[in-house]
Amino acid sequence: MRLLSQLIALGRHRQLNRQFRTIERNIQALPRQGRARLGALTLREIGQASRSDFPHLYGTPPEQRYLPWGQGTMIGYARARSENAEVALRGMALWLAAAYHETKDAPHAGLRAQHRQLMRIVRELKELRGDKADAASAWMHSGTTA
């Protein structure tokens, strides 16, 4: 049984890693303003997921609650590949939030490594969002207004 659970975890890690590489490329292709908006959306999605009963199943329809992992990453990944920029942004945010909660307390080393990569991306997005807020605050408090 232990071997089976490790094989399942390895398969899930490979799937998340493949999707993560695509999501990461999409994020890097975004302009700075788009990444800042994605940061805000991602933080909102992570917060909404953390308030749900089962954060690791965020984005999963209720009737599929008893699956080994949620459908949020699959739904988010499909949306992230959309030609519509808004749908793609929301899909990336959903994928990041679902993958974050799914890998957060994972007992398997591969999934913990995946969580660290996710944390790096979320931190970068959060910093971009913070830079935007700092710039707006500095402008509001400067004496150069007309």
10 in a structural domain: no
Residues 51 and 45: their CA atoms lie apart, in Å, by 10
From CA 65, how far away is CA 45, in angstroms rounded? 19
Query: Does 139 map to a domain?
Result: no
Residue 76 is part of which domain span? 30-133
pTM, whole model, 2 decimals? Answer: 0.82
59 domain-assigned: yes
Judge whether 115 lies within some domain.
yes
pLDDT by residue (tens digit) across 66-99?
Answer: 766 778 899 999 999 999 999 999 999 999 999 9
Whether 123 is in a domain gets the answer yes
Is 20 a domain residue? no
User: Are 128 and 45 within 8 A, CB to CB?
Assistant: no
Domains in the chain, number: 1
Confidence bin at 8 (pLDDT 50/70/90): confident
